Structure 1
Amino acid sequence: MKSMKAEITYNNKTYNINLAKPLDISLSLRGDDKNPIAWYLQSPKIFPVKDGDFIGKVSAGSSTNFNTIEFNPHAHGTHTECVGHITREFHSINDSLKKFFFTAKLISVEPENRGVDKVITEEQIRKELQKNDVEALIIRTHPNYIDKRTRKYSNTNWPYLEENAAKYIRECGIEHLLIDLPSVDKEKDEGKLLAHKAFWDFPKNTRFEATITELVYVPNKIEDGNYILNLQIASFENDAAPSKPVLFKLDAETSSA
């Protein structure tokens, strides 16, 4: 594969990134029971359109494959959401996310036991993240088994982000938070959504351009550290949309004037 180098300047240093070597941390959407699922829904569906004698499938005699897809962005794969996820007023992710390249840091955290819960704490985040360090934070939870790609999360009481941890992340200047869980909040929290609200600083000083991306998957071969993040979404006029976050490794650091 040919090298496709680009220069990025960050903190008065210039780095090369190789655009030909992307590190995809998204989950693909499948139309079967191997798809990850959360929020008590069934598997997404991908099926050919039928209209009279027409079946939108080449193997069934059509000239094209012509599928309908039924899914929920929050429940069926990697998705990026804006504050419109928790507001009475409508806010679209398509209007909130207008830039797509960010400095980013990947950290790995093993949630701590707290009664029957597993929690990502402020102390854990403080050990890994400093103020004004980067624009985006990716949290990989341990253990990081490959079955995250197909896991059925409903009624599992997955790990979640402590409210103070989300607040600290916001105070560090993080605009885009990514995590490999169905939600930054507890599965059943009586609608409190404490981490969502703390990260978006809702409702007092709402950060309308900040985003949360959930259900990413970061393979173990990708090392913790700093990257460039390309965060792309499908152009949905909705609070959330399917997304494809991709990381690029920073190489060849040199001083910059």
Structure 2
Amino acid sequence: MADDTKFLHLFLLLSSSSFCFSSELDIQCLRSVKQSVIDSNGVLNSSWDFDNYDRSSYDWYICRFIGVDCWHPDEGRVLSLRLGNLGLEGLFPEGLKDCTSMSSLDLSNNNFSGPIPYDIAQQMPYLTYLDLSKNSFSGEIPQSIANLAYLNLLKLQHNELSGQIPERFSMLTRLTTFSVADNFLSGPIPTFAHDFSPLYFAGNRDLCGAPLDECPRSRRWRLIPIRLRRINDESSIGAAVGFVLGFVVAFYFHLFCCERLLPCVFRA
């Protein structure tokens, strides 16, 4: 019985220390986000106050920040960040890797720019909801997003993204909402487990494949230069053969004429 009591006390001690560590990381996460973005409208500056707080109730205090949802008000573990339409600017926010329990991120309808982090899946591996739409994110779509195995929604429309949609996105079998409309994407659309409307891919340069128009067959396009090369090679060979034959004919014609003319010259 005494051993069981000691084990229970040890378990509670380990659980509480882990809980405190998790809360501190979430606090660090929100601090980094606030410091890394440009808050032109002062929304975060007025709500995310890390200075005036009661330490004993600090965990539930951060759950009252604008755009912050917690798993439970008494835990202080960030469940989601809903920062859409707040007039935020700058690069992709830093420190999100420290929100270790976050499953939803909404940065839509702001003025964020620059690339989406290539290791976004390593930073937030449990995301089920990712909305980066209506910003100015540029560069290619990170391949690592394909590793977000729990992702249900991915919105990237109305940005300045270029390159192709990663083929590995076909691995996102739980994805039920996906939009990349109005970017600068090109190439084939991967085969998804669910059917998406053509509107979710509209407004891109040279993007093709279902549900849009069929992509041109690459084999057909490759045959053209091959045929042209063969034609050029055959023309070169024909010209060379013609030159040689002409030279041989001219040479024998010259000898023939000389044999006919030489006796006439000596007689004269």
Higher helix share: 2
Q: Specify which structure has the higher proportion of strand.
A: 1
TM tier, shorter chain? under 0.3
Pick 1 or 2: higher relative contact order, CA cutoff 8 A, min separation 6. Answer: 1
